[in-house]
Amino acid sequence: MEPMEPNNKDASNASKNQCNSCADSSCSAAKRHDGEAEQDFLERRALQSRLCRIKHKIMVMSGKGGVGKSTVAVNLAISLMLAGKKVGLMDVDIHGPSVPTMLGLEGATITNSPDGLLPVELGHLKVMSMGFLLPNPDEAVIWRGPVKGGVIKQFLADVAWGDLDFLIVDAPPGTGDEPLSVCQLIEPIDGAVVVTTPQKIAAVDVRKSITFCRHVGMTILGVIENMSGFVCPHCNEVTPILRTGGGQAMAEDMGVPFLGSIPIDPLVAEAADAGQAFVMHYATSPTAEIMRKIVAPILAMDDKA
């Protein structure tokens, strides 16, 4: 697939002129830096004028694939929305976008407006994903780092996110181009939520994510241990079928907050396959209650603001 077509000129010009309505002369986007090219200034201002309308920006990361990171990102975003917040969910897993499937938004498309690209809306949740731009779900995206960085920049600067309380960014596993682009482009970013599973092999990889955050100066909001024990579909008892506690031990060892453990719940997988947001459709289940408790400190960030 070819790199994403830039949006039309109207949308591009609209976003680049947005700062004309703001009188904050102390903002760094209000004037051109010494030696900064006009085009670079316009692009920086376009990006900043989107980001300044979003109160909290959070990246969800994992050290390796298969730990349920997108499930956590989706349910985090939906939990915040259900708590009355205006939320954006930006899926920057360019090679394997799963957010549209998990939210039942497959086949949805992005449209243009004078204010920029319009994200897909689900209640008060605005969603942007590479999955909306692929002509068919089997299409492989074969792009190198700089192109991916350009797409992430477009997702931030050219999408009409509007005023949001939270933007949740679902990054692909590992510490490659995409998470690096996100933390370079979103300035300031509130921090990262790191998802792992209890097994030692996952905890080893997640240490790399924490080291990455420290290298780029990004706050670690906390670690979530996913797939920690199994919820019996008959009696709801949680059985530790595999080793548990690895994520918590690793978080303590690395001196970062531990947000909590989410058990393996067949309903979570069922909801994702059915394109239903788990915390919304199974709101009364014990696992949804666990997820809400895990989200509470993140929700409190906005109440403190």
**Interaction site with ligand SF4 (CB under 6 A):** 18-19, 22, 24, 27, 29-30, 48-49, 52
Closer residue to ligand SF4 in complex, CB, 23/140: 23
Give backbone dihedrals phi and psi of 120, rounded to 5 degrees, phi first: -75, 135
Nearest to 155 by CA among 21, 275, 3, 32: 3
CB atoms within 10 A of CB 255: 8
* Cβ contact 107:193 at 8 Å: no
Minimum distance between the CB of residue 28 and ligand SF4, rounded to whole angstroms? Answer: 7
Q: Closest approach of Cβ 166 to ligand SF4, in Å?
A: 18
Choice between 51 and 192, CB closer to ligand SF4: 51
Tokens of 168: 């949740």
CB of 167 to ligand SF4, least distance (A): 15
> Quick one: 25 or 109, whose CB is closer to ligand SF4?
25
How far apart are alpha carbons 57 and 76 in whole angstroms? 13
Q: Which is nearer to ligand SF4, 25 or 39 (CB)?
A: 25
Contact 132, 120 (CB under 8 A): yes
Distance of closest approach, residue 32 Cβ to ligand SF4, in angstroms: 12
Would you say 51 or 202 has its CB closer to ligand SF4?
Answer: 51
C-alpha 168/C-alpha 100 separation (Å) is 14
Shortest gap between Cβ of 188 and ligand SF4 (angstroms)?
13
- For residues 3 and 126, what is the distance between their CA atoms, to the nearest angstrom? 23
